[in-house]
Amino acid sequence: MNNHDSKSAMTEPTSDDDVLPVGVNSLSDYAPNKLYLLLTSSVPIDITTSSGVVVQTDSSNNNNNNNELLPQKRSSKRRSFIRYFIPINRTRSSSIPVDPAKSDGFGAAYYQQSRGPIQSIDPCDMRFLIIRHGERVDRYFGANWYMTAFDQNEQYRPYHRNFPASLPLRTNRYFWAVDTPLTSTGLHAAEQLGRLFQSRFFHPTYAYSSPAMRCVLTTIQILKGLGLENKIPIRIEPGLLELGAARFGMNVFFQPTDWHKYGINVDLSYQPILTNIPPYEREDGYYLRSKHVIREIEKRHNELSTDSQNILIIAHATSPETLTWDLIGKQPNIGDLYRLSLNIAYLQTVLTERQQDSKFWSVKPIGWS
C-alpha cells in the first residue's frame, strides 16, 4: 500500500519562528555548529573478544521464550556505556563550545586540531560505521507536531525555521506520528558529519539504512556531505528497525520505490535480509534479530572481491549495542537496553573493525580532536 502521492510539498518556511521548545531560549541553542554528537576521547577499556554467548538465530525464537536464550544478568549503567564509548548527554541544551570567530558556521573550528585520516592499528578487511540518526522533529516540537504543521488542505506549512523546508506528501497525516522526519538542524548536522568523514579520508563503499524516515534522511545527508549521494545507492534494510517500530505495521514507512520517485539514490535491486518485523517483540528477540542482520551483512560482503570495505549503517539509538554485542563477543544488556539508549546522542558514531587475518571484531574509538 502506498502511503503518499508522487509529488512533494515544497512550501518554504515562513518568517514566524518565535515558537521555541520549552527550555530553549534562542535558536542559537540549535545552531549546526554545536555538534554534541561525536566521540572526543579514547575508550579506556579492553575490547578484545571473549568466549561470548551462544544463541540461536532462528527467527522462530523471536517471540518464544527468548529470555531463556540470553543471559539475564543486569550490568551497571556505567559499565554498559563504557563498553563502547564515553557517554554523551543528549539533552537539548548540550553542546560543544566553538569559538564563533574561528568557526566556518558548522563547527569546523572544533575539529581543526587534527586533519589526519581515520586509521587502524591492525590491518582490517571490513569496517562497520554504525550511526544513530539525526535530530527528530517530534522530539523537538512534540509528538503532535504534524497537527499544526499541516493546514486543513494537508499542505505542509512549516511555521518555525527548525522544520525541514519541505516534506513528501502522505495520504494519511497520522503516519507522521510514527515515522518522523529530521529537523532542519538534524539535516545540516548529518551533512556536516559526512564532510567530517571526507576530511578524515573515510570513504564508505556501501550504505545501509533502517526504513524509518529519520534514518534514510540521515543517510542521504551524510552521503551528500561526502559527495557520494549519486555514487552510493542506499540499501534500505527493514531488519535494522528499532524495537517496537513495527507495531503499526510496515506500511507506515516509505518503500525503496517511493524514495526513488523523489529522486533519491536507493538500491532497487537490494534484497532485504528481513522484510517483516514482529509488531510485538521483546528485548531478547530484538537482540537476536540484530545479530542475524549484522552477521548476514557480513556474510554477503565476504562474498565480494574488494580488499577492504567501509560500510555505513544508519539506524537507531539502540543499534550500537544490539548490532555489535555478538561481533565482539560480549553479553547483551537486556535489562539495561532502554537506559543505555537514553545516553546515545544524535549522530553518535561507533566504529567496529574486523582484523584481516584473525577475522576478530573489535570496537575502535574515534578521536576527532
Please state the rounded mean pLDDT for residues 92-102.
Answer: 34
| pLDDT exceeds 60 at position 264 | yes
Lowest mean pLDDT among 25-29, 259-263, 298-302, 307-311: 25-29
Task: Tell me the three state secondary structure of residue 136.
Answer: strand
pLDDT at 368: 53
Would you give the DSSP letter of residue 207? Answer: E
Residue 325's CATH number: 3.40.50.1240
Residue 10 lies in a domain: no
Residue 152 lies in a domain: no
Q: In angstroms, how far is CA 54 from the centroid of its own chain?
A: 27
Is residue 133 annotated as a catalytic residue, yes or no? yes
pLDDT at 176: 96
Contact 312, 222 (CB under 8 A): yes
* Structural domain span for residue 275: 31-136+182-364
pLDDT at 119: 54
Is residue 92 annotated as a catalytic residue, yes or no? no
pLDDT at 111: 30
Sign of the dihedral defined by the CA atoms of residues 245, 287, 265, 195, in that order: positive
Please state the rounded mean pLDDT for residues 209-227.
Answer: 98
Contact 249, 279 (CB under 8 A): yes
pLDDT at 63: 43
Residue 347 lies in a domain: yes
What pLDDT, in 10s, does the model give residues 135-179?
A: 999 999 999 999 999 998 889 999 999 999 999 988 888 999 999
Residue 173 lies in a domain: no
Residue 131 burial (10 A CB sphere; 0-12, 13-18, 19+): buried
Total tally of structural domains belonging to the chain: 1
Q: Which of 83, 90, 127, 132 is catalytic?
A: 132
Look at residues 97, 121, 186, 179 and name the one whose alpha carbon lies nearest to residue 145: 179
What are residue 136's DSSP bridge partners? 182
pLDDT at 117: 54
| pLDDT exceeds 50 at position 75 | no
Residue 166 lies in a domain: no
pLDDT at 14: 37
Is residue 300 annotated as a catalytic residue, yes or no? no
The most distant pair of C-alpha atoms in the chain lies apart, rounded to whole Å, by 61
Q: What are φ and ψ of residue 43, in 5° steps?
A: -100, 115
Please state the rounded mean pLDDT for residues 99-128.
Answer: 51
69 vs 249, higher pLDDT: 249
Please state the rounded mean pLDDT for residues 191-217.
Answer: 96
Compute CA distances 328 → 37, 181, 217, 230, 362, whole Å: 23, 32, 29, 33, 5
Supply angle C-alpha 88, 242, 310, rounded to 5.
70
Contact 106, 185 (CB under 8 A): no
| pLDDT exceeds 60 at position 340 | yes
Residue 143 lies in a domain: no
The residue count of the chain comes to 369
pLDDT at 36: 36
What distance in Å separates the CA atoms of residue 254 and residue 55, rounded to the nearest whole number?
32
Look at residues 152, 179, 149 and name the one whose alpha carbon lies nearest to residue 165: 149
What distance in Å separates the CA atoms of residue 168 and residue 261, rounded to the nearest whole number?
10
pLDDT at 115: 45
Summary mean pLDDT of the chain: 75
Residue 103 lies in a domain: yes
Look at residues 34, 131, 158 and name the one whose alpha carbon lies nearest to residue 91: 34
What pLDDT, in 10s, does the model give residues 271-294?
A: 999 999 999 999 999 999 999 999
| pLDDT exceeds 70 at position 58 | no
pLDDT at 6: 43
| pLDDT exceeds 50 at position 360 | yes
The set of cell numbers assigned to 319 is: 543499534
Residue type, 362: S
Please state the rounded mean pLDDT for residues 226-240.
Answer: 98
Q: Which of 133, 160, 235, 292 is catalytic?
A: 133
Residue 156 lies in a domain: no
pTM value? 0.71
What distance in Å separates the CA atoms of residue 218 and residue 18, rounded to the nearest whole number?
26
What pLDDT, in 10s, does the model give residues 4-56?
A: 444 443 333 333 333 333 333 333 333 333 333 333 333 222 222 233 322 23
What distance in Å separates the CA atoms of residue 366 and residue 202, rounded to the nearest whole number?
12
What distance in Å separates the CA atoms of residue 364 and residue 204, rounded to the nearest whole number?
16
Residue 96 burial (10 A CB sphere; 0-12, 13-18, 19+): middle
Q: Which of 4, 161, 316, 354 is catalytic?
A: 316
Q: With pLDDT > 70 as the criterion, what percentage of the chain qualifies?
A: 65
Contact 137, 180 (CB under 8 A): yes
Alpha-helical segments (H) within the chain: 77-82, 137-141, 145-149, 175-178, 184-199, 213-226, 256-261, 283-302, 319-322, 337-341
What distance in Å separates the CA atoms of residue 134 and residue 185, rounded to the nearest whole number?
8
What are residue 266's DSSP bridge partners? 234
